[in-house]
Amino acid sequence: MKRQSKFSFVVLTLVLCICVLPKANACEEENWKLGMQAYSFNRFTFFEAVDKTKALGMGYIEAYPGQKLSKEKPDVKTDHNMSSEDKKIMLQKLRESGVKLMNYGVVSLPNDEAECRKVFNFARDMGIETIVSEPPEDAFGLIDRLCNEYKINVALHNHPKPSPYWNPDTVLKVCEGRSERIGACADTGHWMRSGINPVEALKKLRGKIISLHIKDLNEFGNRAAHDVIWGTGAGDFKQILTELDRQDFKGVFSIEYEHNWLNSMPEIAGCVSYFERTAAELGQTDWRWIFNGKDLNDWDGDMRLWSAKDGIIRGETTPENPTKGNTFLIWRGGKLRDFELRLKFRLRNGNSGVQYRSKEVRKWVVSGYQAEVENAPGKVGFLYHESGRGWLVNVGDIMLIDKDGEKNVIGNVSDQDELIKEGYYNDKDWNEYRIIAKGNHLKHYLNGYQTMELIDNDRVTNPGDPKDTKGAAREGVLALQIHAGPPMLVEFKDIRVKNLQPKYGDAVLLFNGKNLDGWAVKGDKEKSKWVAGKAKMSSEDPKMLVKTDGQGELINLAAKHGDSIDFYSKAKFGDCRIELQVMVPRGSNSGVYVMGEYEIQVLDSWGSVKMGSGDMGAIYGAGAPLVNASLKPGQWQKYVIEFKAPRFDASGKKISHATFKKIELNGQLLHKKNLEMTEGVTGGPLVGKEGPFGPIMFQGNHGAVAYRNIIVKPLVD
């Protein structure tokens, strides 16, 4: 919706929960954010650095001035002098990759307001939280003022001696009496090169550390020392992380790996693994590492075929040592119900799989959901039901299995051909699975790409009956597969699991992908331009959508403002979580009305710098998004909305307001705090009256738009 409104909102104070370790709780973001300083890949372009960061499983990056933007734009450098168009291209790459630009530096901040504002304006436009610099002392009055004006941090970096801030005492001196937004970017490796113990330096800077360039080196006190995998060098890396945990540090760790420049990925992956495992040991995350890297304690299988060494589980058959049937290595640490699982695998040859919510049918043999492991792009990543219902969900599909066990492909979560083209699978190399099981809702991700989604409403099998295998499962064991057949070798490492609390009820799929059953129009049905099919942006008019062959998408083929009408679900909901994808053509406008009354704006806001309460992701007229997370027109974008309905007493009097608890777009949190709708419904509602339940409504009278994969889950107190 794009019209004037006078709605106000109240920002609720988040209730802090008191909890025992681990420290990461129900809050959306973990305190420690591991990212990449792009300088680690200074032999590559910024786009390549983003791709490498994503491949390493990280979602944060720090840019430095001077890196080539991309192979397509080799003359464009990533810095604060970039054109508006090039900044848009850079942001588009970051959003498509799911990587957030957190920091920028090391960059000059002279005692020159015009020059400093260029840097701060760039940081504001790019959503950067911290500028890393080594400013002259006479610039701090100006920098202090700009930090408070822009609400952006400046972190002082310590290059080795004799750079201005090599000694932490100097950092403390210039920070004294200054804004809390001025502090340290602690470079542990450069301290080691300067002969300073990193742990002691961190202790000295307690309360002033904003971010880190984090390193471990092969030698202490040698300026020529080089980076090594964390935990293997001269720095007491475990103590570095322990000290930051003791200080309750919250912020970004930027990996700056300045060695083996052209082939550092395996070493950086080792740093990531060390960090994640140590963070879990310190209680900084909810992840539980279930393979100790040394032996197969807590695992059970045919030990003729399974072994553990150097952090890797190895499953192998040979002509002399075969298996007659599929066999499994079973984790004995308990059954999993609702969880997120992450692990890395490398398949040398043959076929394998990751079993979850499975049951043992006989010794070392299981039945249940299987994430496919196969050296076959287009197949690896699909969902199979071992010794049960067989092949389930192809790569790229979203499926609904109904209560009678009928399989219905609803549409797509991704394009299989595009996944293959983008290289979602690394043949005969390390790949990372991310598997999420929550109630009846299952998702697979491979190297950051979503490969499938299932809502399984089939009959739930009896977990205690090994013969009952033809149906859904809500709990079971985790296991790794060796497949019968020719000799094979598969390896697994970095296996960790996180239990998920039952925050949501079972998923409800609102659109069947084939027709408009279950939906209604607001007004004259003859005026509706809503159809089921497959949408794409018109090649003749980018402001229009056209219907193509296929199914799975709910399309409004409106040609202009007022050309169609609003469209809503017959099903009604109260407190709920909404997940959906939306495609907006150029310049178009729509909205997602929760309960039919409260609008989350859908708008082509691509390229907008200053976001208002009518832009993409806004609670229309009530709250502007904190960032512009929009993708280009014609691309699928994903919303996640959590909503608490208003409450009424027995007489019908409202006793608490409707509240948007969370709104995410393309993985970015748009509103950090809950927004309470004190003025009631927004403009253009279905009824114009608040109630405890209501449908999901899509605005249709403002332009062309398409929606797909519309899933609602009731929130559980």
- The closest of 455, 460, 557 to 511, measured between CA atoms, is 455
Going by C-alpha positions, the residue among 588, 659, 587, 650 that lies closest to residue 619 is 659
Check residue 621 and give its pLDDT: 86
Of the pLDDT bands very low, low, confident and very high (cuts 50, 70, 90), residue 2 is: very low
pLDDT for res 87: 96
Instruction: Return the pLDDT at 29.
Output: 59
Q: Does pLDDT of 290 surpass 90?
A: yes
User: Do 69 and 77 form a contact (C-beta atoms < 8 A)?
Assistant: yes
* Model pTM score: 0.88
Is residue 5 scored above 60 in pLDDT?
no
Average pLDDT value over all residues in the chain: 94
Q: What are the pLDDT digits (tens) for 431-459?
A: 999 999 999 999 999 999 999 999 999 99
Q: What whole-number percentage of the chain has pLDDT above 70?
A: 96
Of 413, 405, 518, the C-alpha closest to 457 is 405
* Mean pLDDT of the region 173-179: 97
- What span, in angstroms and rounded, lies between the C-alpha atoms of 192 and 536? 55
Q: Give the angle 44-45-50 at the CA atoms, nearest 5°.
A: 100
Q: What is the pLDDT of residues 195-226, one digit of tens each?
A: 999 999 999 999 999 999 999 999 999 999 99
State what percent of residues in the chain have pLDDT above 90: 92
Q: What is the pLDDT of residues 620-662, one digit of tens each?
A: 988 899 999 999 999 999 999 999 999 999 999 999 999 999 9
> Quick one: pLDDT band at residue 321, thresholds 50, 70, 90?
very high
Confidence of residue 3 (pLDDT cuts 50, 70, 90): very low
Evaluate if residue 47 carries a pLDDT over 90. yes
Is residue 19 scored above 80 in pLDDT? Answer: no
| Cβ count near 243 (within 10 Å) | 18
Give me the domains of the chain, ranges plus CATH numbers: 31-284 (3.20.20.150), 289-499 (2.60.120.560), 508-714 (2.60.120.560)
Distance CA 365, CA 361 (A): 6
Look up residue 235 and give its DSSP letter.
S
> What would the two tokens of residue 362 be?
């006989």
54: enclosing H helix or E strand: helix 46-55
